[in-house]
Chains A and B, each alone.
Chain A
């Protein structure tokens, strides 16, 4: 396994711009998760996919956020009309099965800075 990869690793944007992040999970992992982590806090759940189906979305995921996993492989997270409050580390994780006992494997994250 090559691990979960995320691109870009860093993104600096101006308020009001749109940004898109990509996550490539470990191959054959059918579940994929997005979390957001702000400085000094633990990750907060945003959404998750089983294959290509988006099964749960947090209330944190406002209508400016959209996530896709079109072929059940990689996923994208788009933020439209970015705000300074969107500045955070965006984490992607994946696993097989997704039960409460299953380990989630995390990527290195994409750090977003909104100026």
Chain B
């Protein structure tokens, strides 16, 4: 079945470091791909999305490119801030069932 695999956390970085959080997926069709973020004590918020191969989603300095050949949607940011500390979830959406299928989440800790 369809699934999403994320790198395990926590990921601990110093402020201004480069961030990569890996996400790979398995899907029988052509999914849309999403990154959601959950800040402490808050609900899930969409960070960015890409709806077809080679699309790049971007928001708040974060980017991810939909790579069909490697079935990946890795999240990157050039210079992280303490305020980026949160849990990041990769998810895919398929036309066949309308639900989102989620990775387990990656906790990011940024130290000043």
Hey, which bits of chain A sit against chain B, CB under 8 A? 4, 31, 33, 35, 40-45, 48, 55-56, 58, 91, 93, 98-109
Q: Mark B36-56, 1 if CB is under 8 A from A, else 0.
A: 100000111110010100000
Within 8 A of A (CB), among B54-112: 89, 91, 93-95, 97-105
Is there an interface contact between A101 and B103, defined as CB atoms closer than 8 Å? no
Is there an interface contact between B42 and A108, defined as CB atoms closer than 8 Å? yes
Q: A42-B91, A101-B51 are in contact. Are A108 and B105 (CB under 8 A)?
A: no
- Label chain A's interface by main secondary structure: loop
A23 CB, min distance to chain B CBs, angstroms: 12
Q: A41-B104, A91-B44 are in contact. Are A103 and B49 (CB under 8 A)?
A: yes
Hey, which bits of chain B sit against chain A, CB under 8 A? 4, 31-32, 34, 36, 42-46, 49, 51, 89, 91, 93-95, 97-105
CB neighbours (8 Å) of A106 from chain B are 36, 43-45
B103 contacts which of A42, A56, A58, A103 (Cβ < 8 Å)?
A42
Q: Closest 3 A-B residue pairs measured CB to CB? A: A42-B102, A45-B99, A100-B93
Q: List 7 A-B contacts (CB under 8 A).
A: A43-B89, A43-B102, A91-B43, A99-B95, A100-B94, A101-B49, A106-B36
